[in-house]
């Protein structure tokens, strides 16, 4: 298997893993070297395309049918820097000269297991003309799209697909929530900080971009409420991409 990918982060080393993915959990694929640099070149440079190559070997006792594989490459020094691929395989068995063989049909997408496009709203306090938000994906979110059920102290991935109508040399990002549904997003989930580690800078006007960020809710979170993700020009806060979506904490 070979995958072309472009990381949005720098890393001197990578950790790799392949899983059999299912709704009940991910089962690690046996025999894979955890050193991701075995399968792709290191160090990794943000914005530079490279290829991961892995020789997938399947045992003869595997059942036939369609299965979901999940492949992860993450920064050895920062687990939030992550590339993740979902691969659907179909295992068939044939008989050629009395020899059994397996055929794999691969379909690759840059998403993770059990994601969901969620219902989103633009932020009321941000100029909507500054940015076009195409989609928001939360992973995992099997209950979507109206809201995502989340657990406290568990990491969730949020993928934003957007086209900014402004340029920026430096970017800031924050994640907040309105836990009491008062209309004020005062509960901080992720403090305002440099976003160029998540989204390669500089940001160019009218260039469609996709980036991932992770959030974790603490013990203050309870019930159903909206979460706000905001990305803005560090030199001009009026230039921003901002979206809200609903979550429910169990």
The beta-carbon contacts of 128-131 under 8 Å, at least 24 apart in sequence, are 129/165, 130/164, 130/165, 130/166, 130/238, 130/239, 130/240, 130/241, 131/162, 131/163, 131/164, 131/165, 131/166, 131/240, 131/241, 131/242
3-state secondary structure at position 195: coil
Strand partners, 65: 91
Domain boundaries, given as residue ranges, for the chain: 2-109, 116-249
Rounded CA-CA distance 138/141 in Å is: 6
**Chain segment 199-209, per-residue pLDDT in tens:** 778 899 998 88
CATH topology of domain 116-249: Immunoglobulin-like (2.60.40)
CATH topology of domain 2-109: Immunoglobulin-like (2.60.40)
Q: Sorting pLDDT into bands at 50, 70 and 90, what band is 103?
A: very low
Rounded CA-CA distance 48/199 in Å is: 13
Q: Sorting pLDDT into bands at 50, 70 and 90, what band is 155?
A: confident
Taking the mean position of all CA atoms in its chain, how far away is CA 109? Answer: 11
Same CATH fold, 116-249 and 2-109? yes
Handedness of CA 87, 207, 234, 129 (dihedral sign): negative
In terms of DSSP bridges, do strands 236-249 and 187-194 run parallel, antiparallel, or are they unpaired? Answer: unpaired
Q: Are 122 and 150 in contact (CB under 8 A)?
A: no
Q: What does pTM read for this prediction? A: 0.57
**Chain segment 29-88, per-residue pLDDT in tens:** 666 678 888 888 899 898 888 888 776 665 554 555 666 778 888 899 987 788 887 777
Q: Which two tokens stand for residue 218?
A: 């603490």
């Amino acid at each position: 298997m070979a995958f072309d990918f472009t990381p949005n982060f720098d890393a001197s080393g990578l950790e790799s893993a392949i899983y059999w993915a299912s709704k009940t959990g991910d089962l690690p694929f046996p025999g894979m070297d955890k050193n991701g640099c075995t399968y792709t070149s290191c160090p990794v440079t943000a914005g530079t395309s490279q290829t991961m190559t892995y020789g997938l070997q399947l045992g003869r006792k595997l059942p036939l049918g369609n299965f979901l594989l999940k492949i992860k490459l993450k920064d050895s020094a920062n687990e939030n820097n992550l590339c993740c691929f979902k691969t659907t395989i179909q295992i068939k068995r044939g008989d050629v000269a009395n020899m059994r063989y397996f055929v794999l049909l691969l379909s690759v997408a840059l998403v993770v297991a059990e994601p969901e496009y969620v219902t989103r709203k633009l932020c009321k306090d941000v100029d909507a003309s500054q940015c076009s938000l195409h989609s928001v994906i939360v992973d995992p979110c099997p209950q979507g799209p109206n809201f995502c059920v989340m657990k406290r102290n568990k990491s969730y991935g949020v993928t934003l697909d957007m086209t900014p109508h402004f340029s920026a040399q430096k970017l800031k990002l924050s994640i907040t929530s309105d836990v009491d549904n008062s209309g004020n997003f005062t509960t901080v989930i992720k403090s305002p900080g440099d976003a160029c580690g998540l989204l390669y800078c500089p940001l160019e006007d009218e260039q469609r971009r996709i980036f991932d960020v992770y959030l974790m809710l603490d013990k203050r979170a309870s019930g159903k409420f909206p979460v706000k993700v905001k990305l803005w020009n560090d030199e001009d806060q009026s230039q921003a991409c901002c979206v809200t979506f609903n979550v429910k904490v169990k």
